[in-house]
Structure 1
Amino acid sequence: MTQSSEILCIGSVLWDVIGRSASHMRQGSDVPGRITRLPGGVAMNIAMTLARFGMTPVLLSAIGRDAEGDELVRACAQMGMRTEHVYRSEDLPTDRYMAVEGANGLIAAIADAHSLEAAGAKILRALFNGTLGSEQSPYHGPVALDGNLTLALLDEIAQSLAFSQADLRVAPASPGKAERLLPFVRQGRATLYVNLEEAGLLCQTEFTDSASAARRLLERGAQRVLVTDGGRSATEGDHAGLITQTPPAVLVTRVTGAGDTFMAAHIAAEAKGADRETALARALQAAATYVSGETPL
């Protein structure tokens, strides 16, 4: 990875509406708690963590020209992110994500990223028109990409010359979108960040541990993978070998955004020159700190 602090963050930038309760919940539960609204989306969550680690995220996304979109762009700028390349649509509303979390984890979530999907390749214009790069002069540097884009667009990115020189880091937006990462497995391009369930979907099987999942993804053609399994082992691997570590044991108080925090912390650690083992350890510590964060209820 380059030593530059600039990193492109491509994907969903939206408003997170999160309801959290200290109670265990099930279908139909009606309990007291707190409801918050804050900037979110996979690309945004990654960017926020990268900014805290001293990097400069450059956002490539779709945000509406509605009041919510204007507020979101201001919030991004205040956190040290560059937003001049964001596609601002006149007719597409700003996307939203809604989740409910209990003491027993994520109960349910709905991601409304339809505007991002509808904008399609328009969010990538700066990488093709010469502003940030082009097919003739590809962008050099780190790129964090999330799976909220359409399968067709992700397939185009996996093969495009405009991304051929980038240090591409990719994560699915959710298990339901994990299979959108298949083009990167087939092309042997990018570092993939997935959890155990997502690895199973990509390999059409089930795994009991992160090491076997990482090994299978590499066998299927992946260039490099990081597989997490909640509080259990996490494995980073490429064709030179696997490294497996166990995250610190903590009391989990929130889960939305944990995987994004892990990915961003790993990218930031490598950007600062950390070796593979150190980068994985720092990412696991950052994720553990995040999920154990105090949340008033």
Structure 2
Amino acid sequence: MTQTPDILCIGSVLWDIIGRARLHMRAGSDVPGRIERLPGGVAMNIAMTLTRFGRRPAVLTAIGRDREGEELVRAAELLGIDCSFAYRSEDLPTDSYLAIEGANGLIAAIADAHSLERAGEKILRPLEDGRLGRPGAPWRGPVALDGNLTQALLAEIAASPLFAEADLRVAPASPGKAERLAPLLAHPRATLYLNLEEAGILCQAEFATAAEAAEGLIARGARHVLVTDGGRAAADGAAEPGAGPRVIEAAPPAVLVTRVTGAGDTFMAAHLVAEAAGAPRAEALTQALAAAARYVSGDLAL
């Protein structure tokens, strides 16, 4: 691809192996269903959603030069995602994610993002070698950043002049990695996307609602946060004067849930696009919830 990307997605790009059953499941369940392999990872899911909105995303990630990596790059580029800036390792295997979903939601998942973690700052080289930016002339566009990066690298990004002019959009990869975002919590150019559990972990508190969580995050120094809570009301919290009410809420559309993996990433991408188009906070929140609802219902039309 030769076009300059209009957004960078930094983080996990891997193969999702998802087993789905239409029955309720519990630990030890053995039921019929479907198993599929799809391009996935937080950065990849966000990039895929962005292409459906007509955007040109590029991924900064680690992808192996193994067969799985070559197949993943081909699949991503067919979707309109620029992989030319990815760190391609001869030694590290391509990462993967394994999840089991039932009619009652996500049952269990294992994320193997060890290659991304081991690659570390190597994935950021295009931001300093002149391809996407350089010292003194940093990247000025939006950046979707995911919590599969190590806490050390996220802390480095939080303080790096290479990101001083970027519009940072940050999400944890899972509740288990929410604490990694602590260095970015009070970043003056960061918008954080969290679910209710992740917000509680990051604040080391328990919240009953998304609105309460948004208030708690703003109190801890966050500039702008979006908090979701499954089928319950989501919240947008903003600390900046002139942004309107400190916290606003909206309920997601009621839909039949057919999948859950990737829903939060779709919400984040849709919200980013809505804000970039100039949508007010309430409208951007509503549009993002509608896109996520369409995704979990199995309808990809945006």
Give TM-score scaled by structure 2 length: 0.94
State how far apart, in whole Å, the 1-side matches of 2:185 and 2:15 are: 30
Q: Report if the CA contact (8 A) 2:101-2:108 is conserved.
A: yes
Q: Which residue number corresponds to residue 120 of structure 1?
A: 120
Higher relative contact order (CA 8 A, sep 6+): 1
Q: Which amino acid aligns with 1:279?
A: A
Q: Report if the CA contact (8 A) 2:186-2:223 is conserved.
A: no
Q: Which residue number corresponds to residue 59 of structure 1?
A: 59
Q: Which residue number corresponds to residue 154 of structure 1?
A: 154
Q: Which residue number corresponds to residue 276 of structure 2?
A: 271
SS at match of 2:185: helix
Q: Which residue number corresponds to residue 254 of structure 1?
A: 259
Segments of structure 2 that go 5 or more residues without pairing to the other structure are none
Q: Which residue number corresponds to residue 210 of structure 2?
A: 210
Q: Which amino acid aligns with 2:272?
A: I
Name which of 283, 289, 293 aligns with 2:294: 289
Q: Which residue number corresponds to residue 197 of structure 2?
A: 197
Q: Which amino acid aligns with 2:109?
A: A
1:93-132 equivalences under 5 Å are: 93-132=93-132
Per the TM alignment, residue 251 of structure 1 is displaced from its structure 2 partner at its CA by 1.4
SS at match of 1:192: strand
Q: Which residue number corresponds to residue 86 of structure 1?
A: 86
Q: Which residue number corresponds to residue 163 of structure 1?
A: 163
SS at match of 2:7: strand
Per the TM alignment, residue 186 of structure 1 is displaced from its structure 2 partner at its CA by 3.8
1:25-52: CA deviation from partner (whole Å, max 9, x where unpaired): 0011000000000100000000000000
Q: Which amino acid aligns with 1:291?
A: V
1:131-172: CA deviation from partner (whole Å, max 9, x where unpaired): 111231111000000000000000000111100100000000
State how far apart, in whole Å, the 2-side matches of 1:61 and 1:195 are: 24
State how far apart, in whole Å, the 1-side matches of 2:237 and 2:178 are: 19
Q: Report if the CA contact (8 A) 1:214-1:225 is conserved.
A: yes
Q: Which residue number corresponds to residue 47 of structure 1?
A: 47
Q: Which residue number corresponds to residue 23 of structure 1?
A: 23
Q: Report if the CA contact (8 A) 1:143-1:166 is conserved.
A: yes
Q: Which residue number corresponds to residue 145 of structure 2?
A: 145
**Runs of 4+ deviating beyond 6 Å:** none
Q: Which residue number corresponds to residue 180 of structure 2?
A: 180
Q: Report if the CA contact (8 A) 1:236-1:280 is conserved.
A: yes
State how far apart, in whole Å, the 2-side matches of 1:78 and 1:13 are: 15
Give TM-score scaled by structure 1 length: 0.96
SS at match of 1:211: helix
State how far apart, in whole Å, the 1-side matches of 2:31 and 2:299 are: 19
Segments of structure 1 that go 5 or more residues without pairing to the other structure are none
CA RMSD of aligned residues (A): 1.3
Q: Report if the CA contact (8 A) 1:135-1:160 is conserved.
A: no
1:203-239: CA deviation from partner (whole Å, max 9, x where unpaired): 1011000111001101101111000000001111111
How many residue pairs align between the two structures? 292
State how far apart, in whole Å, the 2-side matches of 1:5 and 1:207 are: 38
